[in-house]
Structure 1
Amino acid sequence: MRYSGDWMVLADDRILEYIRKNEAAGSTEMANGDYVRYSQSYISRRCKKMVERGLLREVGSGVYMITERGEKYLDGEIDTSEDVPDEIPESEDNGPSAGNNHEEV
């Protein structure tokens, strides 16, 4: 069972599910499909809200990927009303090599 916060709407689950299945997606792509049946502008607003809450991250040009937090929400492992991040770690946006710029001694 999923535990959505008061800030979430039904569209959020559909958007997260679509992005999880497709690895990444933009609001136009989702609006043109049959799974997320909302306007492009509404989907874009919801994606931005989910970026603020740490469920998605924007990878550029309005394309979004699901975060580990988003995955945990979909799997029913977190309650988004109680588990709000204070800030989204920068390393999530920097890819797999983030934080590996130091030499081992």
Structure 2
Amino acid sequence: MRYAGGWMTAADDRILEYLSENETGSPAKMKREGPIRYSRQQINRRCKRLAEEDLVRHLGNGVYVITEDGEAYLEGRLDTEDWQYIDEEVSEGIHNDSTEDTVTQN
């Protein structure tokens, strides 16, 4: 079970799944090769937001890679609403190295 934050969309899961399976990808490549039924512009916007939330990292030239937090979300180990790991004692280093239980949303 995944714990999606209220800021997330269905496109975010598809993008994270694609990056998890393919290691890297650009919005154009995800649109062309992946099962993502959104425009390249929408994929690009969501990749930028996922990068802001540290679920993916922008490598440059429009190429993204999934982060450890992104993988943890896909595996149902990270709640992206309150940025807490599920069933884990250690939550150090979650979402911008915050030591608080919650993160103020933009």
Distance 2:96 2:72 in 1: 17
Distance 1:64 1:36 in 2: 15
Identify unmatched segments of 5+ residues in structure 1: 89-105
Greater Cα radius of gyration, structure 1 or 2: 1
Moved over 6 A (4+): none
Identify unmatched segments of 5+ residues in structure 2: 84-93, 99-106
SS in 2 for 1:2: coil
Q: What is residue 8 of structure 2 aligned with on the other side?
A: 8
Q: Which amino acid aligns with 1:60?
A: G
SS in 2 for 1:31: helix
Q: What is residue 86 of structure 2 aligned with on the other side?
A: none
Q: Report the TM-score when normalising by structure 1.
A: 0.79
Q: Which amino acid aligns with 2:39?
A: S
More helix per residue: 1 or 2? 1
Paired residues, what number?
Answer: 88
Instruction: Between 74-83 and 32-41, report the one with greater CA deviation.
Output: 32-41
Instruction: Between 58-67 and 29-38, report the one with greater CA deviation.
Output: 29-38
Note the 1:18-33 alignment, pairs <5 A. 18-33=18-33
What is the RMSD computed on CA atoms of the aligned residues? 1.6
Q: Report the TM-score when normalising by structure 2.
A: 0.78
SS in 1 for 2:78: coil
Q: What is residue 37 of structure 2 aligned with on the other side?
A: 37
Q: Which amino acid aligns with 2:41?
A: S
Paired residue for 1:85, among 69, 75, 95?
95
Give 1:31 deviation, angstroms: 1.1
Distance 2:63 2:97 in 1: 21
